[in-house]
Amino acid sequence: GQQVMQIPQYQHVQEGEDFTTYCNSSTTLSNIQWYKQRPGGHPVFLIQLVKSGEVKKQKRLTFQFGEAKKNSSLHITATQTTDVGTYFCAVGSGYSTLTFGKGTMLLVSP
Amino acid sequence: ETGVTQTPRHLVMGMTNKKSLKCEQHLGHNAMYWYKQSAKKPLELMFVYSLEERVENNSVPSRFSPECPNSSHLFLHLHTLQPEDSALYLCASSQARGSYEQYFGPGTRLTVT
């Protein structure tokens, strides 16, 4: 299946600081999805990116798909304590089942 | 969020017990998945069902036996588990097999003693 690397594995920020997580693949992707899992919860779908260079925003979250469709980033502006959780990217190619990255755990201190 | 439900939410079982996990989706989806989530391997895909047919089995030990009687229900039968099988077991569904977004249930926290 697909190989996907997600970095960093863990990040601890102060409330108000920005946060970015990156997802990288060695192969061209048909799409990439992002999920958030709160502590004690389950992964929840956030967004899907399909087009080369695509940028989508959800309030303070900005999602970007690389021009070569091999990488993506999730950027959170001015983090809040409600942003705490693990953020997973999931990559797709054709009819293959999604492959999830190992996730980036975000901790936000007030 | 009640699109995908799982029961029980917590389960403690001995190594010689037999138990079953149940998943039900109310989204009209045609694909369903079992994942194992532990500290070592955050989201480990176990099985994929598409239109009630098992289409993926990722080298899962035979002590885990899935069953999909219809497109809305998915079971994971457990037998003679090991302590290292303790984990959160997540069920998910999607519109179809492939790279569609997945909707997860709340999971079953399994402890094997």
Q: Is the pLDDT of residue B20 over 60?
A: yes
Q: Note the pLDDT of residue A51.
A: 96
Closest CB from A43, A45, A93 relative to B99: A93
Task: Please tell me which residue, A49 or B16, carries the higher pLDDT value.
Answer: A49
> Hey, which residues does B75 pair with through a beta bridge?
B22, B67
Q: Which pLDDT band holds residue A95 (cuts at 50, 70, 90)?
A: confident
Q: Minimal Cα–Cα distance from A27 to chain B, Å?
A: 15
Q: What backbone phi and psi angles, to 5 degrees, belong to A83?
A: -85, -5
- Tell me which chain A residues have a C-beta less than 8 angstroms from the C-beta of B103: 45
| Separation of alpha carbons B44 and A1, rounded Å | 12
Report the amino acid identity of residue A37. Q
The sign one gets for the Cα dihedral B11, B95, B2, A41 is positive
Whether the CB-CB separation of A65 and A32 falls below 8 Å is answered with yes
In whole angstroms, how large is the CA radius of gyration of chain A? 13
| Separation of alpha carbons A80 and A84, rounded Å | 8
Whether the CB-CB separation of B112 and B86 falls below 8 Å is answered with yes
Q: Is the pLDDT of residue A1 over 70?
A: no
Q: Minimal Cα–Cα distance from A44 to chain B, Å?
A: 7
Closest CB from B33, B42, B97 relative to A95: B97
Q: Is the pLDDT of residue A103 over 80?
A: yes
Q: Which pLDDT band holds residue B64 (cuts at 50, 70, 90)?
A: very high
Interface of B with A in 75-94 (CB under 8 A): 90, 92
| Separation of alpha carbons B15 and B83, rounded Å | 8
Q: Note the pLDDT of residue B88.
A: 97
Cis peptide before B8 (omega within 30 of 0): yes
